[in-house]
């Protein structure tokens, strides 16, 4: 029997080609183009203070985008991140108010555990009730926001109430990069490596592509999705702690409305809304891009009213590119299969 | 097997009276009755007027939204369309010198364009509606800001504002409700009594099957998004006249309230299930409950939690009930199968 | 699964229930007293405070004063308000106050015109309208309690910034929302003064930005200001949220000590920044007195002592008497300047 030796004749694309067709390239390209153009128009855009601001502004968005990407890859979404951010940020203020001498590391741990707990509520509802995460997290968005508002009332914690060292995290730099930005970068790299190399990370992609097939394959879908939500919550909690360090006050309205921005950043960064593809690196770049737009618009003195519209156009462009790319890939795969028949 | 294994209903009537939307209405009626008795000032014509005007925008947009969700899609850009319409109306009225009727008509055109753009992206380019409408949510709201900037336009004719808020005789029911009832009736007929409507259910259940049956999928989806756009712009016009002020932030946050109400009313987020009366019930339930609790001096924050809790409950409960029914059915089946296998004797 | 017929059967039950519901509402309207307020005769009179938004520290101080005032005049005190500073969110609370038959509605308006129609309805139901802090269109209210003479607020901030930048340089304004009446009034006076006063001939106003009383937005607007106008000598922020956010940014950046910052701030929020040198001096008044006077003005209106016309005087408990100025505006007192010397004496 003639064995079809070319059964797996997928053309070995060289690393060069793979690099350039990676989904992150258009986003990164857009970011670089944006910075370059703005710099040409207004060189002060890259002054030390300005760059520092850009990095600081992006930090929290990056962590939130990485967290959200974990969930979106599994074909879910978490709309309650804004409320979780607010709850943890306010919680941080409360903790410092009650224990002024508490070691900073402990505060971070408490924040992440708190966030993880809230994320687990989402995760358990989604996995046990078999209802789309969109609906569940919409409900928990209302519930968490309500809890935060009644807990906080009109109390606000100001940065003056926190230990100096805590506030300095957002000011001090290491080789010119703010400390909290370094934290964000480390997290992005860690999660990216987890998603691409560790088995349970790769399972998330499988679940997003086809949950039923993943289940048949033996992947514990419920457990993985629950972990994704817990991780998302914990990372959002971390972002909440950093928020309290960076901004002047935390109160009942902290984090309101940030959820759609985060989802937008993730989509722009190449993560498909129906799961199964995209990387956290892309999501992180998407977050940087969106938070840089504000700065770029003011630096070029473009009417800031255009900002929202530009964000909308970017999202649509990202989705269209995704679609075109995936259509091409499907066609190519189909053509390859036909050859092998 | 002579006995069918499918779960036979305990009579059709039992199912009808405990269907999802019937439950919603029972809860609604009990809320109204309890409020009339225990909440001060609830039982008055003012309630009817204030309440209905407050839920009017949500009720109107919930109609096309129900159709969109039944067919398996979603539209998050409705509030932004309303905002863009409001901004356009303001700028036209202030700068163009046209009479108010023409201004309103042109503003409705904005809704048509917004809906058509959504429809084009979703049907012709085949993009996922969730992602597209997140994009157009930002785009339309952004365009509203570009059109009118930070300003508000407040010089609308007072007679129109008075008309929009006027009531029918002494009943306290706003005159605008007549219009709303027409819209509800229109979408009701469309969804429940026309082939187009039945096609939407098929679409939601399975787009491929629908195509095979002959439903023109692209055509249906496109016109639905246009309908959503038009109704959103009507709401934009309404809000402008009601507030006597045109601004880009009119209607912010409306989309989540609409979706929450629609889902509460029994429309399944997966598509293929739900009906208009249920949606009307869902909107009225959230609206009345919020209103009554507020009047009873319950703090605003508790109301937010209640709305969220209702939403979660309304989608989790059917799942739990279905899970429970499934277990009962499986148990019954196991028992029957065991009975048959046990030395051939059939158990009763 | 009988997909289509089930929906229309469920729909039938649903529509019957819907008709029942609407009838129930209409019946409740017709059968009840025509306006719920008339049966409140034996209980104490009520005053409802409607601030721009809840959970705002400045507002809380005002409300504290209002509560004291209400106790002094023997009225029941309540606070109603939205969680976000928007006019359309305020309206349901005006309606609630109307429905409860409140005698005095004290409101700080997010938009001078948008709240108008709702206030009209309230007046028709017999309520007296006292505007405080942020005025409405004079047609819609009986009296406006202003914390200080609006012009003085503007002048004192200009004075402070001029001192700090040495009388010459570019300045910018970081305001709250673009429609807030009080903000726009102060800004207008500042612009007029800059034009006309020869002492300020070398000071130029180069930009006005809006932070919407949102801490994050104000923070980012400050960043934007400083990166687009590197030669900026000073920033005036006549809003407590704005000045705090701007101070936070400047104190953590290279601009500390190079850019002067002043405006209206709360001592507790600003203490840290005065101590570390970011802000040398800023102004405000005693917000509690604002609420206190508003309560007394309301009582005077209800008792018929005043009608809000120019020249009316009314008693303000232990603060003496206040005379109403033109346009129905009553002033509470002069502003206060806060700096490193006296900031520890205050706790709000």
Q: What is the pLDDT along chain A (341 residues), one digit of tens a residue?
A: 444 444 444 555 566 666 656 777 778 888 888 888 888 888 877 777 788 888 888 899 999 999 999 999 999 999 999 999 999 999 998 888 888 888 888 999 999 999 999 999 999 999 987 778 888 898 898 899 889 888 887 677 777 677 777 877 777 777 778 888 898 999 999 999 998 889 888 999 999 988 889 999 999 999 999 999 999 999 999 999 998 888 867 877 788 778 888 988 998 888 888 888 888 999 999 999 888 887 787 777 777 678 778 888 888 888 888 788 778 888 888 888 888 76
- Residues of chain C contacting residue B247, judged by C-beta atoms under 8 Å apart: 179
pLDDT, tens digit, 9 for 90 and up, residues B233-281 = 999 999 888 877 777 777 777 887 888 889 888 888 888 888 898 899 9
Comparing alpha-carbon positions, the chain A residue that sits nearest to B74 is A134
Which one-letter DSSP state was computed for residue B167? B
C-alpha B286/C-alpha B31 separation (Å) is 10
Comparing alpha-carbon positions, the chain A residue that sits nearest to C209 is A304
Burial of B326 from C-beta contacts in 10 A (0-12 / 13-18 / 19+): exposed
Which one-letter DSSP state was computed for residue C317? G
Burial of C326 from C-beta contacts in 10 A (0-12 / 13-18 / 19+): exposed
Percentage, residues of chain B above pLDDT 90: 24
**Does residue C276 sit at the A interface (CB-CB below 8 Å)?**
no
Supply the pLDDT for residue A13: 56
* A311 Cβ contact list (under 8 Å, min separation 6): A264, A290, A293, B138, B139, B142
Closest Cα in chain B, distance from residue C43 (Å): 13
**Does residue A145 sit at the B interface (CB-CB below 8 Å)?**
yes
Q: Does residue A13 fall inside a structural domain?
A: no
Evaluate whether C278 touches C255 at the Cβ level (below 8 Å). no
pLDDT, tens digit, 9 for 90 and up, residues B4-41 = 444 444 445 555 556 677 778 888 888 888 888 887 77
- Cβ of B32 within 8 Å of Cβ of C24? The answer is yes
Q: Which of A79, A86, A128, A129 to mutate to test the interface with B (most CBs of B within 10 A)?
A: A129
- Cβ of B301 within 8 Å of Cβ of A150? The answer is yes
Q: Does residue A5 fall inside a structural domain?
A: no
Residue of B106 and A176 predicted with greater confidence: B106
Closest Cα in chain A, distance from residue C29 (Å): 31
Q: Which of A309, A281, A260 is nearest to A31 (CA)?
A: A281
Task: Answer whether residue C211 shows pLDDT above 90.
Answer: no
Work out the mean pLDDT of chain B and round it to a whole number.
Answer: 83
3-state secondary structure C262-285: EEECCHHHHHHHHHCCCCCEEEEC
Task: Answer whether residue C41 shows pLDDT above 70.
Answer: no
Q: Does residue A14 fall inside a structural domain?
A: no
Q: Does residue A33 fall inside a structural domain?
A: yes
At C30, the pLDDT band (50, 70, 90 cuts) reads: very low
C-alpha C240/C-alpha B283 separation (Å) is 38
| H/E element, B250 | none
Average pLDDT over residues C212-226: 83
Supply the pLDDT for residue B311: 81
Task: Answer whether residue C243 shows pLDDT above 80.
Answer: yes
Supply the pLDDT for residue C2: 31
Enclosing domain of residue A59: 25-330
- Cβ of C15 within 8 Å of Cβ of B277? The answer is yes
Strand order in the sheet with C169-175: C203-210, C169-175, C232-237, C260-263
| Beta pairing, strands C321-323 & C313-315 | antiparallel
Q: Does residue A251 fall inside a structural domain?
A: yes
| Beta pairing, strands C143-146 & C76-79 | unpaired
Task: Answer whether residue B47 shows pLDDT above 50.
Answer: yes
Work out the mean pLDDT of chain C and round it to a whole number.
Answer: 81
C-alpha A18/C-alpha A21 separation (Å) is 5
At C173, the pLDDT band (50, 70, 90 cuts) reads: very high
Comparing alpha-carbon positions, the chain C residue that sits nearest to B240 is C114
The winner for highest mean pLDDT among B12-16, B20-24, B93-97, C280-284 is: C280-284
Tell me the helix, strand and coil percentages in chain A, rounded to 5: 75, 0, 25
Evaluate whether A63 touches A243 at the Cβ level (below 8 Å). no
Q: Which of A315, A233, A333, A322 is nearest to A276 (CA)?
A: A322
C-alpha C102/C-alpha C36 separation (Å) is 10
C301-309 long-range Cβ contacts below 8 angstroms, 24+ apart: C301/C104, C301/C128, C301/C130, C301/C142, C301/C143, C302/C45, C302/C103, C302/C104, C302/C128, C306/C143, C307/C142, C308/C141, C308/C142, C308/C143
Supply the pLDDT for residue A86: 93
Task: Answer whether residue B118 shows pLDDT above 90.
Answer: yes
Supply the pLDDT for residue C228: 80
- How many Cβ pairs within 8 Å bridge chains B and C? 169
Strand, helix or coil at C207?
A: strand
C-alpha B246/C-alpha B150 separation (Å) is 11
* C170 Cβ contact list (under 8 Å, min separation 6): C203, C204, C205, C206, C229, C231, C232, C233, C234
CATH number, domain of A154, equals: 1.10.3470
- Cβ of B16 within 8 Å of Cβ of C7? The answer is no
Supply the pLDDT for residue A54: 84
Q: With the CA atoms of B201, B207, B211 and B215 taken in that order, what torsion angle do they form, in degrees rounded to the nearest 10?
A: 30
Q: Which of A324, A307, A282, A318 is nearest to A28 (CA)?
A: A282
Evaluate whether B147 touches B84 at the Cβ level (below 8 Å). yes
Which single residue is written with the structure tokens 């004749």?
Answer: A9
pLDDT, tens digit, 9 for 90 and up, residues C94-142 = 988 888 888 999 999 888 888 888 898 899 888 999 998 888 888 888 8
Average pLDDT over residues B148-161: 77
Q: Which of B226, B76, B225 is nearest to A312 (CA)?
A: B76
Q: Does residue A12 fall inside a structural domain?
A: no
CA atoms within 13 A on the CB side of B93: 25
**Does residue C104 sit at the A interface (CB-CB below 8 Å)?**
no
At B112, the pLDDT band (50, 70, 90 cuts) reads: very high
**Does residue A99 sit at the B interface (CB-CB below 8 Å)?**
no
CB nearest to A315's CB, from B135, B309, B311: B135
Q: Give Cα separations from C160 to A175, B106, B230, C282 (angstroms).
A: 39, 50, 53, 7
- Residues of chain B contacting residue C100, judged by C-beta atoms under 8 Å apart: 40-41, 295
Closest Cα in chain B, distance from residue A45 (Å): 24
Supply the pLDDT for residue A186: 93
Write out the two tokens for B86: 């409001």
- Residues of chain C contacting residue A159, judged by C-beta atoms under 8 Å apart: 248, 272
DSSP string, C119-145: HHHHHHTT-EEEEESS---GGG-SEEE
Supply the pLDDT for residue C105: 93
The gap from C-alpha A131 to its chain's centroid, in whole angstroms, comes to 23
B86-95, B114-123, B171-180, B315-324: lowest mean pLDDT where? B315-324
Q: Does residue A340 fall inside a structural domain?
A: no
Burial of A198 from C-beta contacts in 10 A (0-12 / 13-18 / 19+): exposed
Residue of C39 and A278 predicted with greater confidence: A278
- Cβ of C114 within 8 Å of Cβ of B280? The answer is no
Comparing alpha-carbon positions, the chain B residue that sits nearest to A259 is B134
Which one-letter DSSP state was computed for residue A158? E
Closest Cα in chain B, distance from residue A132 (Å): 7
| H/E element, B292 | helix B276-295
* C214 Cβ contact list (under 8 Å, min separation 6): A253, C241
Q: Does residue A293 fall inside a structural domain?
A: yes
At B339, the pLDDT band (50, 70, 90 cuts) reads: confident
Write out the two tokens for A339: 């050859």
Which one-letter DSSP state was computed for residue C198? G
- Cβ of C253 within 8 Å of Cβ of A154? The answer is no
Which one-letter DSSP state was computed for residue B153? B
The winner for highest mean pLDDT among A255-264, B85-94, B337-346, C11-20 is: B85-94
Task: Answer whether residue C36 shows pLDDT above 50.
Answer: no
DSSP string, B101-115: HHHHHHHHHHHHHHH
C-alpha C286/C-alpha C279 separation (Å) is 20
Supply the pLDDT for residue A11: 52
Supply the pLDDT for residue A315: 83
pLDDT, tens digit, 9 for 90 and up, residues C2-28 = 333 334 444 445 445 545 555 555 555
**Does residue A307 sit at the C interface (CB-CB below 8 Å)?**
no
Which one-letter DSSP state was computed for residue C239? S
Average pLDDT over residues C271-290: 87
Q: With the CA atoms of B25, B26, B30 and B32 taken in that order, what torsion angle do they form, in degrees rounded to the nearest 10?
A: 10
Write out the two tokens for C12: 């039938």
pLDDT, tens digit, 9 for 90 and up, residues C134-165 = 888 888 888 898 888 888 888 889 989 888 88
C-alpha B149/C-alpha A306 separation (Å) is 10
DSSP string, B259-277: HHHHHHTT--TTSS---HH
When divided into structural domains, chain A yields a total of: 1
């Amino acid at each position: 029997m003639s064995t079809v030796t070319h059964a797996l004749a997928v053309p070995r694309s060289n690393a060069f080609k793979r690099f350039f067709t990676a989904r992150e390239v258009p986003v990164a390209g857009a970011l670089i183009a944006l910075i370059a153009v703005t710099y040409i128009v207004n060189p002060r855009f890259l002054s030390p203070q300005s760059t520092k601001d850009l990095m600081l502004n992006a930090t929290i968005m990056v962590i939130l985008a990485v967290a959200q990407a974990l969930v979106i890859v599994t074909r879910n979404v978490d709309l309650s991140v804004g409320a979780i951010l607010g709850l943890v940020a306010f919680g941080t203020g409360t903790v410092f108010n009650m224990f002024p001498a508490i070691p900073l590391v402990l505060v971070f741990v408490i924040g992440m555990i708190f966030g993880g707990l809230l994320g687990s509520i989402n995760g358990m509802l989604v996995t046990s009730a078999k209802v789309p995460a969109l609906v569940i997290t919409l409900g928990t968005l209302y519930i968490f926001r309500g809890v935060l508002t009644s807990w906080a009332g009109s109390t606000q914690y100001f940065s003056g109430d926190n230990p100096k060292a805590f506030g300095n995290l957002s000011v001090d730099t290491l080789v010119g990069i703010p400390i909290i930005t370094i934290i964000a970068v480390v997290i992005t790299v860690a999660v990216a490596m987890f998603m691409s190399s560790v088995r349970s990370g790769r399972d998330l992609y499988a679940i997003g592509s086809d949950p039923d097939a993943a289940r048949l394959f033996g992947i514990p879908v419920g457990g993985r999705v629950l972990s994704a939500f817990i991780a998302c919550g914990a990372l959002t909690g971390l972002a909440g702690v950093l928020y309290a360090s960076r901004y002047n006050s935390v109160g009942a309205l902290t984090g309101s409305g940030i959820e759609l921005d985060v989802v937008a950043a993730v989509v722009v960064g190449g993560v498909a809304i129906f799961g199964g593809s995209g990387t956290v690196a892309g999501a992180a770049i998407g977050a940087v891009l969106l938070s840089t737009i504000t700065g770029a618009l003011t630096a070029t003195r473009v009417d800031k009213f255009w900002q929202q519209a530009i964000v909308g156009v970017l999202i649509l462009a990202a989705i269209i590119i995704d679609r075109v790319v995936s259509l091409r890939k499907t066609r190519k795969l189909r053509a390859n299969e036909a050859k092998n028949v | 097997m002579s006995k069918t294994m499918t779960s036979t209903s305990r009579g059709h009537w039992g199912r009808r009276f405990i269907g999802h939307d019937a439950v919603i209405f029972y809860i609604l009626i009990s809320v109204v009755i309890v409020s009339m008795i225990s909440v001060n000032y609830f039982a008055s014509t003012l309630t009817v007027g204030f309440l209905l005007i407050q839920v009017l925008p949500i009720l109107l947009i919930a109609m096309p939204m129900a159709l969109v969700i039944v067919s398996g899609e979603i539209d998050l850009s409705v509030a932004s369309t309303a905002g863009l319409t409001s901004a356009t109306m303001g700028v036209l009225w202030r700068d163009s010198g046209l009479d108010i009727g023409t201004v309103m008509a042109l503003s409705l055109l904005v809704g048509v364009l917004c809906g058509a753009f959504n429809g084009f992206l979703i049907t012709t380019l085949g993009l996922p509606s969730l992602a597209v409408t997140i994009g157009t949510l930002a785009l339309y709201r952004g365009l509203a800001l570009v059109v009118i900037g930070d300003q508000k336009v407040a010089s609308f004719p007072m007679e129109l504002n008075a008309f929009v808020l006027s009531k029918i005789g002494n009943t306290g029911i706003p005159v605008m409700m007549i219009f709303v009832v027409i819209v509800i009736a229109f979408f009701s007929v469309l969804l429940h009594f026309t082939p187009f409507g039945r096609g939407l259910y098929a679409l939601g259940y399975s787009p491929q099957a629908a195509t095979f049956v002959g439903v023109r999928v692209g055509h249906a989806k496109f016109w639905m998004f246009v309908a959503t756009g038009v109704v959103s712009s009507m709401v934009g016009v309404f809000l402008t006249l009601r507030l006597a002020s045109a601004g880009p932030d009119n209607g912010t946050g409306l989309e989540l309230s609409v979706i929450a109400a629609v889902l509460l009313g029994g429309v399944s987020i997966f598509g293929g299930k739900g009906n208009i009366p249920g949606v009307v019930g869902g909107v009225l339930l959230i609206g009345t409950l919020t209103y009554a609790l507020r009047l009873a001096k319950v703090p605003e924050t508790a109301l937010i939690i209640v709305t969220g809790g209702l939403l979660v409950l309304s989608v989790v409960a059917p799942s739990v009930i279905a899970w429970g029914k499934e277990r009962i059915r499986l148990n019954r089946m196991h028992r029957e199968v065991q009975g048959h296998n046990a030395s051939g004797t059939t158990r009763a | 699964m009988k997909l289509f017929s089930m929906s229309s059967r469920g729909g039938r039950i649903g529509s019957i229930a819907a008709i029942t519901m609407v009838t129930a509402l209409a019946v409740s309207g017709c059968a009840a007293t025509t306006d719920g307020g008339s049966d409140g005769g034996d209980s104490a009179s009520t005053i409802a405070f409607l601030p721009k938004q809840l959970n705002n520290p400045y507002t809380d101080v005002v409300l504290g004063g209002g509560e004291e005032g209400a106790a002094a005049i023997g009225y029941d005190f309540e606070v109603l308000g939205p969680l976000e500073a928007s006019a359309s969110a305020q309206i349901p609370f005006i309606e609630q106050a109307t429905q409860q038959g409140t005698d005095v509605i004290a409101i700080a308006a997010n938009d001078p015109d948008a709240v108008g129609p709702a206030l009209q309805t309230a007046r028709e139901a017999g309520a007296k309208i006292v505007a405080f802090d942020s005025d409405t269109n004079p047609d819609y209210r009986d009296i406006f309690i202003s914390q200080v003479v609006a012009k003085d607020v503007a002048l004192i901030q200009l004075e402070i910034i001029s001192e700090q930048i040495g009388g010459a340089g570019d300045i910018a304004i970081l305001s709250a929302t673009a429609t807030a009446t009080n903000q726009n009034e102060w800004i207008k006076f500042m612009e007029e003064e800059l034009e006309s006063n020869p002492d300020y001939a070398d000071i130029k106003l180069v930009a006005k930005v809006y932070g919407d009383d949102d801490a994050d937005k104000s923070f980012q607007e400050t960043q934007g200001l400083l990166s687009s106008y590197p030669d900026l000598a000073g920033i005036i922020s006549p809003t407590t949220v704005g000045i705090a956010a701007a101070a936070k940014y400047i104190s953590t950046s290279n601009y500390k000590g190079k850019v002067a910052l002043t405006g209206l701030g709360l001592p507790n929020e600003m203490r840290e920044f005065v101590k570390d040198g970011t802000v040398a001096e800023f102004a405000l008044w005693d917000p509690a007195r604002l609420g206190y006077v508003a309560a007394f003005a309301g009582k005077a209106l209800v008792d018929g002592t005043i009608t809000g016309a120019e020249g009316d005087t009314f008693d303000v408990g232990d603060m003496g008497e206040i005379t109403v100025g033109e346009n129905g505006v009553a002033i509470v007192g002069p502003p206060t300047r806060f700096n490193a010397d006296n900031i520890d004496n205050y706790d709000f």
